[in-house]
Amino acid sequence: MTLKNSVASFPKIERRVKLIPPDGGWGWMVLFGTALTNTFNQSMFSQFGLLYGDLLEEMGHKTTGAAVIMSTMLCVTNCGGPFAGALVKVQSPRFVCVTGSIVCATGIFLSAFSTNIIHLILSYGVLFGLGLGFIQNAAFVSINSYFKLRKSIAVGIAMTGTGVGQALMPHVVRYLLDAYGFRGACLLLSAMCLHGVCGTLLLQPVEWHMKKVEEEVIVEEGKLLSNESERKECDNKGTERKRSVFRKVLDLFDMSLLSNPRFTNVIIGIALTYISVQNFGMLYPFFLQNYVGMSKQETANCMSAVAFADIIGRLVVPPVQAKFNVSARMTLVLTCIWIAITRQILAYQTDMYVLLLLSALYGIGRSMVIVVRNITITEHCGADQVANAVGLGMLSLGLITPPIGYFLGWIRDYTDDYIACLTAQNGLLVLFLFMWIPDMFYARYKKAAREERVDEIQMT
């Protein structure tokens, strides 16, 4: 055997410098910037019923009309996820978030001049939804790149901005509507959305703040490539150049993730939970005003109770989850059981104080659905696939939202019963549990069997 076609290897331990995420540092400023952006953009989502409810009634549309607009918005938000993920690869999370904040402000601004439901679908549904999709994907990717060990805590802190906005914005919207009317309120709210640009400018590239640590690695000295290996490398380069445009698009969006049945089950299940939570948020103001008979001020109080409890949940529950080492997937299952029970009891209540209490209990559960949904996705993909995995999760939500959202609105208008609609929303959570719990038991069984085989091999 000649030296040219052989491989000589001499193990040696070397100390090398490795770059790792800071898990803090400038990452805290990234969380502050994301929270600021969420306060003035993401929180506007839950104000739809309060801001546009009277306008829709003047246009002659009921719950179905509101459901069409909200479903369009959710569809655009989430179908834009894969494109946002691809744009993050081409540009940066900061660029995508700044663009999203500007698009959100433009959507709210144009909605001020709406005279029919088509105008609202285009301004609020399409433009505002697209901006939210850009912000959601890019902000999470940025946080994920800065934090590894304290990821759930970091996401909870960043999402607190949404909770703060949802607690304060109902009162702001009510005041602006009373003081300036619908059009003036929309114009001022669109200006507030631009505050998100200031927050997103803090999303600096993680490469600027990586920590240097030393580690020992085993390397091989005197390693010579054989002629065969060199030929294979040349062939691979040639194949790379000849890849079709279609294949490049698939790689850009990382569609190979969908070949994993568990990943597909995860993103569909998360979509069902998110649709249930978001449709409840849209219906809740109508339920309080039309079924319970509350005033706008009392409605705003209940929505603020949800939001304040949401803030507490985002700050308190993630550290507890990390302390007891509960997976994001198990957290989501337990949370959905909590939400389904709370909302079903809430549907039959009319007392103000009981509704405030149940609103707060629901808010705690809602906070965890928002916090852990993307973290659950990252548990089922590689670190370099996060942007595309989150994008595909948003895409599944965007495709499922319109038909389910319209169906839920149709149930409300056909039965003229809010309780029936709330029960149908809880039915989505029950379907989610039927999808996930058997798969989780199967995964645990496979893990136990694999560990048992390893133990047998070690004993022999």
The 3 state secondary structure assigned to the chain is CCCCCCCCCEEEEEEEEEEECCCCCCHHHHHHHHHHHHHHCHHHHHHHHHHHHHHHHHHCCCHHHHHHHHHHHHHHHHHCHHHHHHHHHHCCHHHHHHHHHHHHHHHHHHHCCCCCHHHHHHHHHHHHHHHHHHHHHHHHHHHHHHCCCCHHHHHHHHHHHHHHHHHHHHHHHHHHHHHHHHHHHHHHHHHHHCHHHHHHCCCCCHHHHCEEEEEEEEEEECCCCCHHHHHHHHHHHHHHHCCCHHHHHHHHHCHHHHHCHHHHHHHHHHHHHHHHHHHHHHHHHHHHHHHHCCCHHHHHHHHHHHHHHHHHHHHHHHHHHHHCCCCHHHHHHHHHHHHHHHHHHHCCCCCHHHHHHHHHHHHHHHHHHHHHHHHHHHCCCCHHHHHHHHHHHHHHHHHHHHHHHHHHHHHHHHHCCHHHHHHHHHHHHHHHHHHHHHHHHHHHHHHHHHHHHHHHHHHC
pLDDT of the residue at 231? 47
Is 224 a member of any domain? no
Residue 124 has pLDDT above 70, yes or no: yes
| Least confident window among 246-250, 316-320, 380-384 | 246-250
Q: What is the pLDDT of residue 65?
A: 76
- Amino acid 224: pLDDT: 38
Q: CATH code at 164?
A: 1.20.1250.20
> Total structural domains in the chain?
1
Q: What is the largest CA-CA distance in the chain?
A: 90
Contact 302, 286 (CB under 8 A): no
61: confidence class by pLDDT, cuts 50, 70, 90: confident
Q: What is the pLDDT of residues 27-37, one digit of tens each?
A: 888 888 888 88
Q: Is residue 410 part of a domain?
A: yes
Q: What is the pLDDT of residue 222?
A: 47
Per-residue confidence band for 14, with pLDDT thresholds at 50, 70 and 90: low
In a domain, 245, yes or no: no
Per-residue pLDDT, 337: 94
Give pLDDT tens digits for 355-383: 999 999 999 898 888 778 877 887 777 76
Asked if residue 364 belongs to a domain, the reply is yes
Lowest-pLDDT choice from 189-193, 233-237, 245-249, 292-296: 233-237
State the pLDDT confidence band at 109, using cuts at 50, 70 and 90: very high
pLDDT recorded at residue 136: 83
Q: Say how many C-beta atoms besides its own lie within 10 A of residue 10's C-beta.
A: 9
The mean pLDDT of 89-95, rounded to a whole number, is 83
Is the model's pLDDT at 448 over the cut of 70? yes
> Is residue 235 one of the residues assigned to a domain?
no
| 33 part of a folded domain | yes
pLDDT interval class at 225 (50, 70, 90): very low
Q: What is the pLDDT of residue 447?
A: 80
Residues in Cβ contact with 99 at an 8 Å cutoff, skipping those fewer than 6 apart: 131, 134
What mean pLDDT comes out for the span 167-186? 86
174, 50 contact by CB (below 8 A): yes
Least confident range from 27-31, 211-215, 220-224, 310-314: namely: 220-224
Q: What percent of the chain has pLDDT over 70?
A: 85
CB 372 within 8 A of CB 352: no
Q: What integer pLDDT is reported at residue 191 of this predicted model?
A: 92
Domain that holds residue 260: 20-207+252-440
Q: Which residue has the higher pLDDT, 383 or 140?
A: 140
pLDDT at res. 107: 93
Q: Band of the pLDDT at 243, cuts 50, 70, 90?
A: low
> Is 445 a member of any domain?
no
When pLDDT is cut at 50, 70 and 90, the band that residue 78 belongs to is confident
389 CB neighbour count, 10 Å cutoff: 24
Given a cut of 90, is residue 208 above it in pLDDT?
no
Lowest mean pLDDT among 214-228, 288-302, 428-442: 214-228
Mean pLDDT confidence for 315-338 = 85
Q: Does a structural domain hold residue 303?
A: yes
Which amino acid, residue 353?
Y
Q: What is the pLDDT of residue 211?
A: 80
pLDDT higher than 90, residue 77: no
Question: Is pLDDT of 7 > 50?
Answer: no
User: Residue 301: which pLDDT band, with cuts at 50, 70 and 90?
Assistant: confident
Mean pLDDT (whole number) for 307-328: 81
| pLDDT of residue 95 exceeding 70 | yes
Of 73-77, 94-98, 112-116, 178-182, the least confident = 73-77
Residue type, 276: S
